[in-house]
Amino acid sequence: MTTIKINEVGNNIAIYIQVNVKEIFGETKEHKCFLNICHCAELPPPVDDIDEDELAARIDKGDIGFRIPVSIGELDSVVDNKNTNQAKIDVLVNSTFYAKRLAPPNANFFRHFFCMVVCEAIEDKHHLKLDPNKCIKLKNRTLMGYIEPMKIMKRPVAPVIQEITSTVPSGDIAVLKYLGIQQPTGVHICLFKGTKLMIELFLKDEEISAIHR
């Protein structure tokens, strides 16, 4: 576990979202939740570096597998311009992803998708139900309150390409054991970025007697 202290806040994004607190506090009055969208280099970027067109194409195809690593801070309180206490949460993302996909003025689609991801993560952690369709970027402020240090889990970085080949001698019973699964001789496995697996089969001089699904 690593504690990350965010010092540079000049180019962060401050937004507010309508929040439903009826289920938590029993109130019917509308509340706001301010989010400080911060960034650091220690948090990894998404595995796939895609633009808005590619993201939209994936969503149209029903592919919702695109993941954005985020760190959700603790629930805090700030005073808004009406002198009313409102919820505030710091959200941390990778600096490169932030600069390319969230900071540009015309990155509205990506920011909306990001808000959907963040709202779901906040609901899972704090049980606050936020409406990503009522998300507004503050025009004259880049920070609400203070940014608290965050603790994130640093995992070993997976190699871009991890190649695993069979070194056992050839023979009818020679096998390669990978991820607990025995593979026959002539199997070539490449693991890309720890998420994509490519398998090549070398069948020279081998007779295929049966194919099983």
The pLDDT tens digits for 51-94 are 999 999 999 999 988 999 999 999 999 998 888 888 899 999 99
- The average pLDDT across 10-33 equals 63
Alpha-carbon distance values, 204 to 36, 125, 153, 166, 208 (Å): 59, 54, 46, 15, 10
When pLDDT is cut at 50, 70 and 90, the band that residue 205 belongs to is low
Give φ, ψ of 141 to 5 degrees. Answer: -140, 140
The more confidently predicted of residues 180 and 54 is: 54
The pLDDT tens digits for 111-144 are 999 999 999 999 999 988 888 888 888 888 888 8
Count CB atoms within 10 A of the CB of residue 103. 16
When pLDDT is cut at 50, 70 and 90, the band that residue 42 belongs to is confident
**Residue 67 near residue 46, CB atoms below 8 Å:** yes
Mean of the per-residue pLDDT values of the chain: 75
